[in-house]
């Protein structure tokens, strides 16, 4: 099993550009999450989904949108990138009834 | 917002030494997890503690959950260079809240040979 995969692995954007990060999981997990990781700040939750067709805001949702049209995919969009969104983005998933989250390898995004 | 304070933020020790990492909060969590993260990879779960006062051992690593389920510690005995990495604690909310995790800031451990 591939587990949780993320594409792309690296991306450089100019301020104002848009992009979509794709997360896919093959474990049939109900829950999916998007985090950003910045030095000295641990991981902060951006948005999450408790099932296909549902999304909810996390701790730092501003500037991001998400969609979960298929159970196995969770998309994170940046409509107008800003330098403050330079970070490493992680996707995670988990199954109902278990707290453990399985993380993808991350996407390193730089906004200039 | 529930907060988790992790200490120390950085730790550099010699092979064979013992160390303890602390994770503290003013909030109660339904469970607490410890993850380890290698450079360029996502965090990987080490252990989940659920019951107040619970102690779990994973080879040379000992994890403890506080009686009030607000704090936790990770103790490593006779550290080895392979233990080097970023250690993250994470408190889990109830299932009805999506079991969201609140992460500590992380402890960057370096074990020198």
List, for residues A70-98, the tens digit of each pLDDT value.
Answer: 999 999 999 999 999 999 999 999 998 88
Q: Is A41 on the interface with B (CB under 8 A)?
A: yes
Nearest residue on chain A to B50, judged by CA atoms? Answer: A99
Q: What is the DSSP letter of A84?
A: G
Nearest CA in chain B to A5: B42
- Chain A interface disruption, residue of B1, B36, B43, B44, most A CBs within 10 A: B43
Residue B100 has pLDDT above 90, yes or no: no
Burial (CB < 10 A; 0-12, 13-18, 19+), residue B1, is: exposed
Tokens at B37, concatenated: 């993260």
Find where tokens 């659920």 sit: B50
Residues B25-46 have pLDDT tens digits of 988 888 899 999 998 899 999 9
The answer to whether A75 and A91 are in contact (CB under 8 A) is no
- With contacts defined as CB-CB under 8 Å, which chain A residues touch B4? 42
**What is the per-residue pLDDT across B7-27, written as a single tens digit (0 to 9) for each?**
999 999 999 999 999 999 988
Over residues A11-32, the mean pLDDT reads: 96
Query: Regarding beta strands B107-112 and B10-14, do their DSSP bridges make them parallel or antiparallel, or are they unpaired?
Result: parallel
Question: Could you give the C-alpha distances from B59 to A25, A48, A86, in angstroms and in order?
Answer: 30, 34, 38
DSSP annotation of B60: T
Q: In the prediction, which pLDDT does A100 show?
A: 87
């Amino acid at each position: 099993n591939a587990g949780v995969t993320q594409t792309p692995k690296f991306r450089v954007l100019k301020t104002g550009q848009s992009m979509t990060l794709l997360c896919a999981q093959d474990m049939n997990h109900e829950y999916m999450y998007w985090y950003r990781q910045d030095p000295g700040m641990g991981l902060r939750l951006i948005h999450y989904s408790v099932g296909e067709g549902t999304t909810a805001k996390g701790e730092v949702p501003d500037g991001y949108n998400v969609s979960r049209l298929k159970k196995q995919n969770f998309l994170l969009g940046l409509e107008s990138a800003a330098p403050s969104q330079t970070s490493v983005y992680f996707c995670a998933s988990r199954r109902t009834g278990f707290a453990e989250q399985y993380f993808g390898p991350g996407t390193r995004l730089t906004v200039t | 917002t529930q907060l988790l304070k992790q200490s120390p933020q950085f730790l550099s020790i010699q092979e064979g030494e013992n160390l303890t990492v602390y994770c503290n909060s003013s909030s109660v969590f339904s469970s607490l997890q410890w993850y380890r993260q290698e450079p360029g990879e996502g965090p990987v779960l080490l252990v989940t503690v659920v019951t107040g006062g619970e102690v779990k051992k994973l080879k040379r690593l000992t994890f403890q959950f506080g009686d009030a389920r607000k704090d936790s510690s990770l103790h490593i005995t006779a550290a080895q260079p392979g233990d080097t990495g970023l250690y993250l604690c994470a408190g889990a909310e109830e299932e009805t809240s999506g079991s969201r995790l609140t992460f500590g800031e992380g402890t960057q451990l370096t074990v020198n040979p």
